[in-house]
């Protein structure tokens, strides 16, 4: 279980930092923490695993939030004609050539 969390955490760091994720301080900190707790008590291992799982949840949530924001965020105010077209309607033509 901790190894799976470590791999998922490193995958999320790669998504966040791009190709140079191995140069990031977060990458070095996570690996050092997992290596350090291999020789410590069981309680420290559980605490590190909990912190890593929490950080993993944060990174995933931020990435998913950004994807949803890009997809659904409004692009400013639209004209009535554009809004009508989005829902499949056409605005009526006004007499005198207006609209």
Q: Which helix (H) or strand (E) holds 85?
A: helix 80-86
Query: Which pLDDT score is estimated for 58?
Result: 92
Predicted TM-score (pTM) of this structure? 0.59
Q: Which helix (H) or strand (E) holds 10?
A: helix 2-17
CA–CA separation, 55 and 52 (whole Å): 5
The whole-number average pLDDT for the span 14-29 is 85
Contacts (Cβ under 8 Å, ≥6 apart) of 6: 30, 34, 52
Residue extents of the structural domains in the chain: 2-87
Write the CA distances from 44 to 18, 25, 36, 54, integer angstroms: 30, 21, 10, 15
Residue, of 39 and 9, whose pLDDT is higher = 9
The whole-number average pLDDT for the span 15-39 is 81
């Amino acid at each position: 279980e901790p190894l799976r969390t470590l791999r998922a955490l490193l995958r999320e760091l790669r998504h966040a930092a791009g190709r140079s994720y191995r140069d990031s301080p977060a990458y070095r900190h996570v690996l050092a923490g997992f290596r350090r707790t291999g020789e410590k008590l069981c309680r420290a291992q559980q605490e590190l695993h909990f912190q890593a799982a929490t950080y993993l949840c944060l990174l995933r949530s931020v990435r998913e939030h950004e994807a949803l924001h890009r997809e659904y965020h409004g692009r400013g105010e639209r004209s009535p004609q554009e809004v009508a077209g989005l829902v499949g309607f056409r605005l009526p033509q006004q007499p005198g050539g207006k609209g």
